[in-house]
Each structure stands twice: as structure tokens, then as C-alpha cells.
Amino acid sequence: MDTVIVIKIGGNIIDDEGKLSSFLKLFAGVKGKKVLVHGGGKLATKLAADLGVEQQMIDGRRITDAETLKIVTMVYAGYINKNIVAKLQANGCNAIGLSGADGNLITAHKRKHATIDYGFVGDVDQVNASLLQNLLDNHMTVVAAPITQDGNGQLLNTNADTIAQEIAKALGKFYNVKLIYSFEKKGVLLDVENEDSVIPLINPVYYNELKEKQLIFAGMLPKLDNAFSALQNGVKQVIIGKAEELDQLITGKSGTTITYE
Amino acid sequence: MDTVIVIKIGGNIIDDEGKLSSFLKLFAGVKGKKVLVHGGGKLATKLAADLGVEQQMIDGRRITDAETLKIVTMVYAGYINKNIVAKLQANGCNAIGLSGADGNLITAHKRKHATIDYGFVGDVDQVNASLLQNLLDNHMTVVAAPITQDGNGQLLNTNADTIAQEIAKALGKFYNVKLIYSFEKKGVLLDVENEDSVIPLINPVYYNELKEKQLIFAGMLPKLDNAFSALQNGVKQVIIGKAEELDQLITGKSGTTITYE
């Protein structure tokens, strides 16, 4: 089986033009099949403020009303996605930018919740793996924006971490998939105050040990639970670390590698 | 050779939600291989006004400065493109929305002009026909936004009529291409005041006759010259008419068909 690297970059990279350019150069240089999933960063929040569209928050969660959906569609699937694609093309990487609507890449449903109406937020139902296979096998690099569709013409705002995970799982049936989550720290830390305390490798046995001894920072638990869920669904490795160290993350020389073995 | 229909819709359709929905239903129902090219309509102008970005005009031509490029990228490649794609998907048409950067679809160069700096406006150099072939042959319908790239990471704003023409010409080597320009009138009119005076068929001999007798409204001349240029470059038919009559345009029962024979 061929290897596919699925990497998710977050706001800390997207909001910093210099960091983004350096990262895209690194990413373009990675050999083989790859998918990039990007989040939104602060640009959508800024555009909403410039347009006087108030961001509704309920219980600390952002609500995607119709105006906000329009803004995130413009910013994520338009501005950010197309600029990333153009920069990758300039670096010799044949990128193709897609939302979940394009080629029916990702269908989702409007989130159902007993008490909160999240608005136009989508939870993923299905990823079109055969479209990804076609593009990857034709030497294209997919750049996915965190916008999905419900199949009835409605676009939906979807969490980029989730999109990366669902794409990785869908590709896991056909490829050896490495899923890389980049964030602001060097990896999963034993001591949250010490950037050099990165745990290089976590498997299920060690994860249970770490949890029992309460050695893992509470904020990391959902990320790690998600990682193990991906591993249970066909993804070979999940790697968590800094986007700036992409090459070392891929080879396991940096970041935290999570495996099921 | 298979037939491909390339159709360009303009602002009169895009700005009217009801008209757009009806058109997309019609378009989704058209059998066979097809490409949709959309313009921008008034949404970008409205967003610019809402954001207080002044639209610079020089000699009656709009200038695309950096802020305007950002706006058209968001509106054309983001909002309009993704909403069209989602609505086509809902109508059972497997659409994939692309800008010129995606898969290196359209490369262009920043317009050079002796006296006017148009800003980030792109004149087309090349269309990636093999990408279009791959997608069309895999039963996808390409929806192209009028944003191109220069290959060095710069996005550019490009006229949608030109994009439709260049895509049609590039596909002309591999398919029987019909290029349909939809606009607000029923076709090329003998009497500009009379909507029922549509000329059903124009070939080069008849075109010269019409020009000599000055029977063609001056505003139509560039459109017709462009049509003949497309026909000289491998396009089989150019059809000009109302988007609302798409089925009849395709069969030649409505609009003006321009052929080289």
C-alpha cells in the first residue's frame, strides 16, 4: 500500500503570513501522496467584525448563523484555500483546493443538540474516498477547507480537526495513512510547563498508564481519544507536533507519535 | 468525439436567487459532459461597499487593487462557487468547483498596458485540458470561478467570458465543444428594440453581409468577433441567448448559433 500523509494546520500557522509561507515550502517538498486540511484562523472573526456581524456565543460555543456561514464560506473556501493552493503551485506542488461540496467530497448533517441550536454547523456523515483516490493517484495534492454540505444544497461549517480525521479514516482503507495534527506545542508534554518534555511515542498500554498516573494535561485528553479513535478506524499513525518541524514529524524524530501497536 | 457543453452565466442570473435556482435545475438536467463558468454579479461590489473599500476606476475600467482581489477571491471562488456547487449536488449533478489555481487549471499573467495599471487582473496563458478531461471523464461537472493564478503564487482577477472561451478552446482538441454565452437578451437581434428579431444562425459569409449592411448593433461586435475567434480555435458552435432557455439553446431552437461552416 502507498502511504498518504494527511496534515491539519491550525490558526497559529494561517494567521502568520511568514509561518504559512515557510510551512507551505516544507509541505510542498514532502514526497508522495498528501492532503492538507486547514482551519480558519482569525480572518473570519476579523471580517465579521469589519462587517458588523456579531458572533453569537451560547455556553461558550460559537453559533454559525446565516451571515456567519456566508463569511466562513468566503474566508475558508475562498480566500485561505485559494491562496494556499496558489502558493503550493508556486512551490511545484500540484494542489487542488476543495470544500466538502466539491465532487461531493464530504457530506454532513446539521448538528442536532437537545438544548443548543448551533446553526449551520455540520457533523460529518461520509467522505468520498474514490474522489480523493482519483486525485491522489493523478499526482494532485488535495487542500481541504472546513466547509461541508448536507446534500440538499446547504453548506455547513465543520471543525477542521474532524475533517482531517474523517479524511484520514476514509483513506485508511486504501493507503497507509499518517495523520498529523500540528498545533502550537512540540508534542504531548509530560510537563506542560516544559517544552522539552515531549513524549515521543504513545501506544494504548502506555496511554492507560499515563492516564492512571494522571500525567496527561486534561486539555490533551480529547485530542488523544480522537487519535485512538482514528487508529481504531484504519489510520496507521497519528502524530501531534509543531508544523514548523514537519519533516521531523513525518520521520518520528519530533512530536508525539501515537500508534495502536 | 464526445460533446462537451461549456456555458457561461453572468450577473443577471447570479444576482437573482430564484433565477439562479431555476437555471441550476435546468443545467443539472443537461445530459453529458459540461462545464459551467460563472461571473461575479453585484455581490463583490456590495461587499466592497460594506467594507468601505473604494472601487477605483480608470478610463471607465475597474482596477483590481489588493483589497479588491481579496474580495473577489472570497466572493467568486468562495461564496458564489461553493453555493452553486452545493445546489448542483442537490440536483444530482456531481459538480466540482475550481479556481484557476486549483490543479493548475488556468495560468495567466498580470495585464500589461502602456498607460493603465489594471492591478491584479490576469490575461490567460494556458488552460490545463488534461485536468478537465480527467474530471469530465470521471463524470464530474466543472464549475469554474473567474480567478486565475500566475504560477508564482499570485491570484488574479480574470474576465469570465474569456475564461469560458479559453476553456472551450482547450477542450476543442478532444471534444465537440458547444460554447454557450448567456446574457439578458434572447440572442443576437436584427432590431435591438425587438426581442423577437433573433437571428437564428450566423456563419462567416452572413456575418460579413450583416456587418457591411451595418445591421448589427455595435455592442454585439466584440462578442461576435470573440465567437469567431473561438470557432477558429477548435470550438464547434458558439450559442448566444438567455440562460432561462438553456435546453432550447443547446438544440438550436432558441438563441443565435454561430458556426464556421
**For the segment A107-132, what is each residue's pLDDT rounded down to a tens digit?**
999 999 988 899 999 999 999 999 99
Contact B36, B144 (CB under 8 A): yes
Q: Does B152 touch chain A (CB under 8 A)?
A: yes
Q: Using a CB-CB distance cutoff of 8 angstroms, which residues of chain A are in contact with residue B83? A: 73, 155
**CB distance B90–A153 less than 8 Å?**
yes
Residues in chain B: 261
In this predicted structure, what is the pLDDT of residue B226? 87
pTM for the model:
0.96
Q: What distance in Å separates residue B258's CA from the closest CA in chain A? A: 33
Q: Does A22 touch chain B (CB under 8 A)?
A: no
- Name the DSSP class of B112: P
- The per-residue pLDDT for range A207-245, each reduced to its tens digit, is 999 999 988 877 788 889 989 999 999 999 999 999 999
Q: What distance in Å separates residue A88's CA from the closest CA in chain B? A: 7
What is the DSSP code string of B175-232? SEEEEEEE-SSSS-BSSTT-TT-B--EE-HHHHHHHHHTT-S-GGGHHHHHHHHHHHH
Mean residue pLDDT of chain A comes to 94
Provide the CA B171 distance to its chain's centre, in angstroms.
14
Q: What are phi and psi of B109, to 5 degrees?
A: -125, 150
Residue of B82, B98, B147 lying closest to A101 (CB–CB): B82
Q: Residue A261 — very low, low, confident or very high, per pLDDT cuts 50/70/90?
A: confident
Q: Residue A73 — very low, low, confident or very high, per pLDDT cuts 50/70/90?
A: very high
Nearest-by-CA chain B residue for A79: B74
Q: Rounded to the nearest 10 degrees, what angle do helices B221-232 and B160-171 cross at?
A: 20
In this predicted structure, what is the pLDDT of residue A165? 96
The Cα–Cα gap between A248 and A164 comes to 20
The Cα–Cα gap between A74 and A99 comes to 11
User: Burial, A110: exposed, middle or buried (Cβ in 10 Å; 0-12, 13-18, 19+)?
Assistant: middle
In this predicted structure, what is the pLDDT of residue B55? 86
**Domains of chain B: which residue ranges?**
1-182, 184-261
For the domain B1-182, what is the CATH code?
A: 3.40.1160.10
Instruction: Tell me the residues of chain A between 45 and 74 that have a Cβ less than 8 Å away from chain B.
Output: 50-51, 70, 73-74
A137: its cell numbers: 493517484
Contact A237, A257 (CB under 8 A): yes
The Cα–Cα gap between B57 and B79 comes to 25
Q: Does an H or E element contain B29, and which?
A: helix B17-29
Find cell 447570479 and name the residue.
B14
**CB distance B95–A103 less than 8 Å?**
yes
In this predicted structure, what is the pLDDT of residue B38? 97
Spatial neighbors of B232 by CB under 8 A, at least 6 apart, are: B260
**CB distance A95–B82 less than 8 Å?**
no
Provide the CA A171 distance to its chain's centre, in angstroms.
14
Residue spans of chain B under pLDDT 70: 60
In this predicted structure, what is the pLDDT of residue B52? 94
In this predicted structure, what is the pLDDT of residue A102? 98
**CB distance A87–B147 less than 8 Å?**
no
The three-state (H, E, C) secondary structure of A144-187, written as one string? ECCEEECCCCCEEECCHHHHHHHHHHHHCCCCEEEEEEECCCCC
What is the DSSP code string of A69-112? HHHHIIIIIIIIHHHHHHHHHHTT--EEEE-TTGGG-EEEEEPP
- The per-residue pLDDT for range A31-72, each reduced to its tens digit, is 999 999 998 879 999 999 999 999 888 776 779 999 999 999
Question: Per-residue pLDDT averaged across A87-112, rounded?
Answer: 98
Q: Does B86 touch chain A (CB under 8 A)?
A: yes
A10: its cell numbers: 491550525
Q: Using a CB-CB distance cutoff of 8 angstroms, which residues of chain B are in contact with residue A82? A: 73, 77-78, 99, 101-102, 147, 155
Which CATH superfamily is A8-20+38-156 part of?
Acetylglutamate kinase-like (3.40.1160.10)
**CB distance A89–B147 less than 8 Å?**
no
The Cα–Cα gap between B46 and A238 comes to 44
The Cα–Cα gap between B136 and A103 comes to 11
Residue of A90, A96, A101 lying closest to B102 (CB–CB): A96
Sign of dihedral through CA atoms A189, A194, A198, A203? negative
In this predicted structure, what is the pLDDT of residue B192? 85
C-alpha pair distances (Å), A220 with each of A55, A161, A162, A223, A240: 27, 14, 15, 5, 10
**CB distance A75–B73 less than 8 Å?**
no
Q: Residue A3 — very low, low, confident or very high, per pLDDT cuts 50/70/90?
A: very high
